């Protein structure tokens, strides 16, 4: 099973992924964590590029869209191998990040045609102001107007693509419980 957590920067994905991994392992599942951008050379190039003041420009975004698609394609083998071994894959971001951050949905879908889509996508929904306070402006994607637009696009995509949406502003433990409630029936567990 391939589970992905999505959300704007500062929505708490890393914390929730760590808690989710621990809970699933405690329940006896074999789990691997992955993240996008990855730690491949393409992923590292992306991280460098995200620091550029031009990071939100249209053409720059198109270049990033292509790089993210390549980085993701490299990751596919890892996901397939893990699933063949019956592992649960938890991912920090996936194809849907490109759909909202790089925009231009039709083109992004095309260049990501061969990537695997997650079985479960959970959107951690948070307003831009709170998210910004949490992430202290690490890169140029982290400004309020930009994040507000990304949040709106996530919510629209969630409705059209069947994501589970969790309010990420209710405290770490409540968010974790909400995520468990979504995942446990998919794994045949009662909590």
- Give me the residues that bind ligand TYD (CB under 6 A), please: 9, 36-37, 50, 68, 92-93, 97-98, 101-102, 138, 141
- We find the least distance from the C-beta atom of residue 114 to ligand TYD, in angstroms, to be 15
Query: Which residues on adjacent β-strands are paired with residue 164?
Result: 122
The residue among 138, 136, 127, 132 whose CA lies nearest residue 170 is 127
Question: At its nearest, how many Å lie between ligand TYD and the CB of residue 7?
Answer: 9
Q: Which is nearer to ligand TYD, 27 or 140 (CB)?
A: 140
- How far is C-alpha 60 from the chain's CA centre? 21
- Separation between Cα atoms, residue 1 and residue 80, nearest integer Å: 10
112 phi, psi to nearest 5 deg = -110, 20
Q: In angstroms, give the least distance from the CB of 185 to ligand TYD.
A: 27
Residue nearest to ligand TYD (CB): 101
| Minimum distance of ligand TYD from residue 158's CB (angstroms) | 16
Residue 102 φ then ψ, to 5°: -85, -10
Which CB, 88 or 91, lies closer to ligand TYD?
91
CA distance 137 to 161: 29
Q: How far apart are CA 138 and CA 132, in angstroms?
A: 10
């Amino acid at each position: 099973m391939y589970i992905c957590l999505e959300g704007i920067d500062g929505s708490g994905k890393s914390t929730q992924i760590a808690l989710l991994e621990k809970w699933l392992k405690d329940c006896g599942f074999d789990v691997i964590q992955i993240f996008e951008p990855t730690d491949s050379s393409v992923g590292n190039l992306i991280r460098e590029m995200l620091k550029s003041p031009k990071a939100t420009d249209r053409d720059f975004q198109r270049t990033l869209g292509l790089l993210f698609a390549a980085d993701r394609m490299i990751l596919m083998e890892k996901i397939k191998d893990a699933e063949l071994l019956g592992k649960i894959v938890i991912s920090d971001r996936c194809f849907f990040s490109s759909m909202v951050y790089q925009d231009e949905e039709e083109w992004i879908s095309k260049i990501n045609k061969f990537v695997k889509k997650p079985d479960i996508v959970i959107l951690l929904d948070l307003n831009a102001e709170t998210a910004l306070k949490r992430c202290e402006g690490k890169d140029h994607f982290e400004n309020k107007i930009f994040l507000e637009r990304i949040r709106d696009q996530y919510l629209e995509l969630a409705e059209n693509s069947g994501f589970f949406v969790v309010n990420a502003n209710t405290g770490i433990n409540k968010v974790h419980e909400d995520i468990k409630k979504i995942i446990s029936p998919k794994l045949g567990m009662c909590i």
